[in-house]
Amino acid sequence: MIYKKTDKLSPVIRKEIRAIWNEEYPKVIIEKSQDKFDEYIKSLKDAKHVIVIDESGHIQGWYADFIRDDDRWFLILLSSKIQGKGIGKELITNARQNNDRLNGWAIFSNHYKKSDETLYKSPIAFYKKLGFTIRKDIIFRTEIMETVKIEWRKQ
């Protein structure tokens, strides 16, 4: 895998990331509009992106950290084709070397379905294994989904 660091995402890269988003995340949060997805990307303040590219040049993953509410937040999205191969761990390990704090939101339930009707697997166990604190006291709820805040602090 090739890891490409960048501060900006081209339209082609944003389109490929959106396709992975819509395949891997629960269908209740798929991005139907490329324009809406592009707006989301552009709203990320001081974003640092890492694109994961396979040997044939196809994007298989995306990591970004950014400023929200005066703190560093992150997101990670990997195609199911590369999950379980240590790539997510490598991306998080590198992010921790460059940051003192990381915050995120994680889906903590396994009952959401992906667009192909398979169940979305919660990443909570993955984050726990990497030393994140699962803040069960900070839940973000909407009509369509519940997420829990996750935090990592350099010790």
pLDDT tens digit string along 55-101? Answer: 999 999 999 999 999 999 999 999 999 999 999 999 999 999 999 99
Convert the pLDDT of each residue in 103-144 to its tens digit: 999 999 999 999 999 999 999 999 999 999 999 999 999 889
Q: With both helix axes pointing from N to C terminus, report the angle between 34-43 and 11-24 in degrees, rounded to the nearest 10.
A: 100
Residue 87: enclosing H or E segment and its boundaries? helix 87-98
Residue ranges of domains in the chain: 2-153
User: Distance (Å, rounded) from C-alpha 92 to C-alpha 127?
Assistant: 9
Domain 2-153 has what CATH class? alpha beta
Q: Which of 67, 44, 61, 47 is nearest to 7 (CA)?
A: 47
What is the value of pTM for the model shown?
A: 0.93
